[in-house]
C-alpha cells in the first residue's frame, strides 16, 4: 500500500534539499506511516489481510542522474538500511503500525532492496557519472584497467570474493568528500563491496553486475555483503515482527545470494514466532518460463506474477482471446512445486513501474465510455480475485485512478492533490471524496473480497480451466476442494452475452448462485448451461 495518508506540512524547505514538493509527481507529497495507521479501516474494508509498504528505509532525499532530477519518494535510494526515513515517520511510528495491523489480524510486508544502494560512489574516469559497462572478460578482477593492465587482487580465484582487496579492476571508484560515512551499516561505505563496472544495459552479464541507473550495485557474491544483508533484514524481523518481504530487483542479483539469504530470513522469522513468513521477488517479465526459474534455481518461495498481470489485463481489455489465460495457467507446471507454488504467487493488475489497470483498459479502448471502462476494470479484478494466486491491489485502483502509464505517472495522491496531472484526472467511475468507500470500484472489490473470504474453494481450491476461446468471450474455471466441493467462475470479456455448455464435475448436479444468475441444475452429469452478460462474471457453487 503506497502513500495513503496526507501529512500537515508546516514549512516547505527547498525541494532539492528536502525532496518535498507536492506539485511535482517526482517528489515527496507528504504521505506517512501515521496516515497508514489512520486508514487501516479503509484498507481492511477492501478485504485486505496484509499491507505491503514501499521501502521505508532512510533514503538520499534527492538525486540527479543524467538529465533527470527527482526525490526518493519511491524509497529505492537507500543510505541507511537500519532506520525509518524521516519523511515517513520514526521507529515508534513503525512499531505502532505493525502493532495496529497485527491487532486487526493483518500482516505487514516490507519492500526491501539488496541489489543496490543510493548513488554515492563515483568513478574517476567518468566525471559525468555515466560510465559504460565494462565486462568481466574485458576487465577481469585480477587486472587493473583491462586484460593488459598490471596484476591486482593476487590470490583471487574467481570464486572467493573475500579475497578481493582492490576495487579498481574496471574503473577507479571513490567516495566524494563529505559522503564517506553516508551509508549505514558502515561496511556499505567501502567501494570494495560493489561491482564498480559502470551502467547496466539490463542485458546479459550487466543485468547482474551493472549500476542500476547510477545506483551503486552491491557485490552480492561477497560474503561480507551476504552476511551484512542477512543481518540488516533479519534485524527488521527481530525488532518489529515483520510478516514478509517483497524483494525488489530480484533478477539483478546472483542466485547464490538468494540461496543463502532466503533460508536465513525464514529461519529468523521462525525464531521470532512467525512460521509463515512470505517472501516474493520482483522478476519483471511476462514469460512464466523466466519467472518460474527463480523458484527453481534461486530458491524463491514465490515471485510476483507478472505473466498473470499481462494476460489478465489483455483479456479484460478485450485485446486477446481468453485462451491467453488458459495457456498462462498451463504454465503453472513450470514452477518449483507446480500448482502449489502457483497458488501463492501474488497476482496483480498494475503497479508503480508500469502503470494502472485503468490506464491499460483505457489505452486499449479509446472510444469506450465510462460504463464500459468500469465494467472491464471490474472484470479484471474478478479474474484476479477468483483465480489461483494471492490477489494484490495497487492503492488507488479502488478509486478508479488510471493515470498516464509508465514509471512515475501512477502514484496519485489519495487526498486532494496539488499536482496538476493528478488533480485534473477524472477517475473511472467518477470523482469521489478522498478515501470514499462508495466509489464504484471500492464497493465492487470489497464485494469480491467478501465472497472470496466466505468460500474456501476460492482461496485454496485446486483450479481447472473449463472453457476458453481464441477471441474475447467466455472464460470458465472451477475451484475444487478435497471434499468434492466445486465453485464454478464464469467470465465474459466480450460486449455481447455468451451462452454455452460448460463441463463440470460429474457430482456437481445442483447449483447455488453466489453472484449472478446461475442455473439451478446441471443439464446432464458433468455439463451445465451458462449464460453470462456482457463484460460480467458469475460465481456458482455446487450444493448437495
Catalytic residues: 248, 282
C-alpha–C-alpha distance, residues 317 and 267, integer Å: 42
Query: In 3D, which of 142, 158, 160, 161 has the Cα closest to residue 150?
Result: 142
C-alpha cell at 9: 506540512
Sign of the dihedral defined by the CA atoms of residues 399, 400, 405, 409, in that order: negative
C-alpha–C-alpha distance, residues 101 and 49, integer Å: 9
Cis bond before residue 185 (omega within 30° of 0): yes
β-strand pairing of 78-84 with 57-59: antiparallel
**72 touches 62 (CB < 8 A):** yes
**446 touches 46 (CB < 8 A):** yes
Q: What are phi and psi of 366, to 5 degrees?
A: -65, -20
C-alpha–C-alpha distance, residues 362 and 378, integer Å: 13
Helices 370-386, 357-364: inter-axial angle, 10-degree rounding: 130
Q: Where are the alpha helices (DSSP H) in 365-483?
A: 370-386, 420-423, 440-454, 456-460
C-alpha–C-alpha distance, residues 481 and 478, integer Å: 10
**258 touches 264 (CB < 8 A):** no
| Contacts with 427 (C-beta within 8 Å, 6 or more apart), sequence order | 358, 399, 400, 401, 402, 439
Q: What are phi and psi of 267, to 5 degrees?
A: -70, -40
DSSP-assigned letter for residue 212: B
| Contacts with 28 (C-beta within 8 Å, 6 or more apart), sequence order | 18, 19, 20, 21, 22, 61, 71, 72, 73, 87
CA distances from residue 462 to 170, 308, 327, 504 in whole angstroms, order as listed: 52, 17, 17, 13
CA distances from residue 227 to 141, 504, 506 in whole angstroms, order as listed: 22, 52, 55
Query: In 3D, which of 497, 475, 501, 479 has the Cα closest to residue 488?
Result: 479
Amino acid at each position: 500500500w503506497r502513500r495513503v495518508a496526507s501529512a500537515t506540512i508546516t514549512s516547505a524547505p527547498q525541494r532539492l534539499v528536502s525532496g518535498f514538493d507536492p506539485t511535482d509527481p517526482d517528489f515527496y507529497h507528504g504521505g506517512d506511516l501515521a496516515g497508514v495507521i489512520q486508514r487501516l479501516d479503509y484498507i481492511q474494508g477492501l478485504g485486505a489481510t496484509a499491507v505491503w509498504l514501499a521501502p521505508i528505509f532512510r533514503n538520499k532525499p534527492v538525486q540527479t542522474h543524467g538529465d533527470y532530477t527527482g526525490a526518493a519518494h519511491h524509497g529505492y535510494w537507500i543510505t541507511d538500511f537500519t532506520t525509518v526515513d524521516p519523511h515517513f515517520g520514526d521507529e515508534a511510528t513503525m512499531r505502532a503500525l505493525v502493532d495496529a495491523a497485527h491487532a486487526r489480524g493483518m500482516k505487514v510486508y516490507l519492500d526491501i532492496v539488496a541489489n543496490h544502494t543510493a548513488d554515492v560512489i563515483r568513478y574517476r574516469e567518468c566525471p559525468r557519472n555515466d560510465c559504460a559497462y565494462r565486462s568481466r572478460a574485458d576487465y577481469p578482477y585480477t587486472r587493473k584497467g583491462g586484460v593488459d593492465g598490471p596484476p591486482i587482487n593476487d590470490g583471487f580465484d574467481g570464486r572467493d570474493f573475500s579475497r578481493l582487496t582492490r576495487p579498481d579492476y574496471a574503473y577507479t571508484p571513490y567516495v566524494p568528500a563529505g559522503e564517506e560515512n553516508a551509508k549505514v551499516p558502515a561496511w556499505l561505505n567501502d567501494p570494495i563491496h560493489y561491482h564498480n563496472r559502470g551502467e547496466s544495459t539490463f542485458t546479459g552479464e550487466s543485468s547482474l553486475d551493472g549500476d542500476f541507473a547510477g545506483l551503486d550495485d552491491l557485490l552480492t557474491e561477497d560474503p561480507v555483503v551476504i552476511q551484512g544483508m542477512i543481518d540488516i533484514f533479519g534485524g527488521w524481523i527481530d525488532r518489529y515482527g515483520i510478516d514478509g518481504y517483497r524483494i525488489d530487483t530480484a533478477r539483478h542479483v546472483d542466485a547464490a545470494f538468494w540461496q543463502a539469504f532466503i533460508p536465513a530470513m525464514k529461519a529468523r522469522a521462525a525464531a521470532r514466532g512467525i512460521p509463515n513468513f512470505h517472501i516474493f521477488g520482483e522478476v519483471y517479465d511476462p514469460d512464466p518460463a523466466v519467472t518460474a526459474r527463480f523458484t527453481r534455481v534461486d530458491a524463491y518461495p514465490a515471485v510476483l506474477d507478472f505473466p498473470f498481470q499481462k494476460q489478465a489485463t489483455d483479456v479484460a481489455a478485450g485485446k486477446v482471446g481468453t485462451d491467453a489465460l488458459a495457456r498462462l495457467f498451463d504454465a503453472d507446471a513450470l514452477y518449483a512445486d507446480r500448482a502449489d507454488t502457483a497458488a501463492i504467487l501474488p497476482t496483480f493488475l498494475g503497479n508503480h513501474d508500469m502503470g494502472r489497470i485503468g490506464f491499460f483498459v483505457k489505452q486499449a479502448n479509446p472510444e469506450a465510455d465510462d460504463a464500459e471502462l468500469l465494467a472491464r476494470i471490474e472484470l479484471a479484478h474478478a479474474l484476479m480475485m477468483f483465480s489461483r494466486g494471492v490477489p494484490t491491489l495497487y492503492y488507488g485502483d479502488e478509486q478508479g485512478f488510471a493515470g498516464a502509464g509508465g514509471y512515475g505517472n501512477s502514484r496519485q495522491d489519495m487526498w486532494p492533490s496539488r499536482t496538476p496531472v493528478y488533480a485534473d484526472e477524472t477517475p473511472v467511475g467518477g470523482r469521489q471524496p478522498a478515501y470514499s468507500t462508495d466509489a464504484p470500484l471500492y464497493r465492487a472489490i470489497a464485494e469480491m473480497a467478501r465472497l472470496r473470504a466466505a468460500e474456501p474453494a476460492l482461496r485454496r481450491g485446486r483450479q481447472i480451466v473449463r472453457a476458453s476461446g481464441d477471441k474475447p468471450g467466455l472464460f470458465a474455471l472451477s475451484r475444487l476442494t478435497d471434499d468434492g466441493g466445486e465453485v464454478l467462475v464464469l467470465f465474459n470479456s466480450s460486449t455481447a452475452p455468451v451462452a454455452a455448455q460448460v463441463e463440470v464435475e460429474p457430482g456437481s448436479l445442483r447449483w447455488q448462485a453466489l453472484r449472478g444468475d446461475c442455473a439451478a441444475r446441471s443439464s446432464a452429469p458433468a455439463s451445465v448451461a451458462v449464460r453470462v452478460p456482457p463484460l460480467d462474471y458469475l460465481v456458482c457453487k455446487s450444493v448437495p
